[in-house]
Amino acid sequence: MQEDILGKLGPEFEEVWKDVNQRYVFFDEKDAELGKHIVQFMVGIMESLSSLGATAMPSHDVTMNAIGTTSIHGHSGHSTRDGFLAVQSPRKDLSILVIGKAGTGKSSLANAILRKPEFEVAVGMTIKTNTAVKGSVCLGDRNVKVVDTPDITNLSGEISKQDEIRKWIDLTSPSPDVIVLAIRCDSKYTPEDFAMYQELQRLGLKSVLEQKLLVVFTFGDQRQPDFEGDIRRAGSNLHAVMKDAGKRRLIYNDKWTSEKAAFVIELLHMVSSIQTQSRHL
Ligand SMILES: Nc1nc2c(ncn2[C@@H]2O[C@H](COP(=O)(O)OP(=O)(O)OP(=O)(O)O)[C@@H](O)[C@H]2O)c(=O)[nH]1
Ligand SMILES: [Mg+2]
């Protein structure tokens, strides 16, 4: 492999190759699993940086174009496995709790993190997710658990709200590393939406929401051109939620496959920042 690379790039590359010191990765845009490999690669870099005492990579260091190829500027990891960067020491598993009103795209978002269609996605007006379900995926050497949930104001059957929330906590055991609140960015944030958030606070999630909340604006393909202005003009209820989230927010767009890997990388970056903040509390 080494000879192949040097043969193709010529002797001028020899000096660079010495510095590369086995840290390399191949990106093949025809690779059916390219997105997954990019995420693993970036996770490896973030893990390497944090094991070196650096904070996670700022998001502007990652650029991704429409066909899904990625450029990474200025950072390197420190070990390889099967050609992809991996982490040397085992790291803590992650658990991600996805919550929100019915039809806000929770299951679609959860599937994007898992990179597989684990959870059923709603079609038409049907409410699909009726109770919490867990899926998991390996990213780098981390097992990432994702718990998809129903709209707590719309539970069907006998299950009480308290029991349902107990199930969320059990499935994310010992506790979620991040709570992703899905809010549609193509429609108004209504008093009913805010009432659901307040109900979750009352049902015992107040302090964990204040520490671990991340707002994800879903239906990003339908956002206003002036999205920042749209947020500024949104009412005080949405601003109160975003305050709890410490202004952590992302936009998700389920329609553009090429953006999903970049979204997962940003999400993991947010999780690292939440973890860093909770270490300083
Ligand atoms: N245009 C667009 N459609 C989306 C997006 N995300 C999800 N959808 C669609 O919205 C519908 C609902 O998506 P789900 O992921 O099932 O939403 P949910 O919040 O899990 O729904 P419930 O489980 O019923 O509460 C589906 O038809 C999705 O294809 C998005 O980013 N853009
Ligand atoms: Mg669902």
Confidence of residue 29 (pLDDT cuts 50, 70, 90): low
For residue range 86-115, list pLDDT tens digits in order.
334 445 789 999 999 999 999 999 999 998
Identify which of 101, 107, 193, 252 to mutate to test ligand 1's pocket (most ligand atoms within 8 A of the CB): 107
Residue 64: is its pLDDT beyond 60? no
Atom of ligand 1 nearest to the CA of 150: 25
Mean pLDDT of 24-36: 67
Q: Given this model, what pLDDT does residue 127 score?
A: 82
Residue 128: is its pLDDT beyond 50? yes
Q: How does DSSP classify residue 13?
A: G
Mean pLDDT of 252-264: 86
What is the residue extent of each domain of the chain? 2-85, 94-279
Q: Given this model, what pLDDT does residue 182 score?
A: 98
Residue 48: is its pLDDT beyond 90? no
Strand, helix or coil at 244?
helix
Residue 24: is its pLDDT beyond 70? no
Mean pLDDT of 267-279: 83
Which ligand is closest in space to the CA of residue 151? 1
**Are the C-beta atoms of 55 and 47 separated by less than 8 Å?**
no
Which ligand is closest in space to the CA of residue 182? 1
The pocket around ligand 1, CB under 6 angstroms, is made up of 100, 102-108, 121-123, 127-129, 151, 218-222, 252-255
Report the alpha-carbon distance of residue 98 to residue 133 in Å, rounded: 10
Atom of ligand 1 nearest to the CA of 100: 19
For residue range 159-183, list pLDDT tens digits in order.
899 999 999 999 999 899 999 999 9
Residue 150: is its pLDDT beyond 50? yes
Q: Given this model, what pLDDT does residue 21 score?
A: 63
**Are the C-beta atoms of 177 and 277 separated by less than 8 Å?**
no
In sequence order, which residues have a C-beta less than 8 Å from that of residue 274 and are 6 or more positions away?
177, 178, 211, 212, 214, 248
Q: Ligand 1 centroid vs 84 CA: distance in angstroms?
A: 32
Going by alpha carbons, the residue nearest to atom 30 of ligand 1 is 219
Residue 225: is its pLDDT beyond 70? yes
Return the residue matching tokens 């992650």.
Answer: 94
Residue 28: is its pLDDT beyond 50? yes
Residue 75: is its pLDDT beyond 50? no
* Mean pLDDT value across the chain: 79
Report the alpha-carbon distance of residue 217 to residue 220 in Å, rounded: 7
Give the lowest-confidence range in 18-32, 44-58, 136-150, 176-190.
44-58
Q: Given this model, what pLDDT does residue 95 score?
A: 94
Q: Given this model, what pLDDT does residue 93 score?
A: 84
Q: Ligand 2 centroid vs 52 CA: distance in angstroms?
A: 38
Q: Is 10 exposed, middle or buried (0-12, 13-18, 19+ CB in 10 A)?
A: exposed
Cα angle value 36/39/44 (rounded, 5°): 125
Return the residue matching tokens 């420190």.
Answer: 78
Residue 61: is its pLDDT beyond 60? no
Q: Ligand 2 centroid vs 103 CA: distance in angstroms?
A: 7
Atom of ligand 1 nearest to the CA of 220: 31
Report the alpha-carbon distance of residue 22 to residue 96 in Å, rounded: 33
Mean pLDDT of 119-123: 91
**Are the C-beta atoms of 139 and 84 separated by less than 8 Å?**
no
Higher pLDDT, 23 or 85: 23
Atom of ligand 1 nearest to the CA of 151: 25
Going by alpha carbons, the residue nearest to atom 21 of ligand 1 is 103
Report the CATH number of the 94-279 domain.
3.40.50.300
Q: Model's pTM, two decimal places? A: 0.76
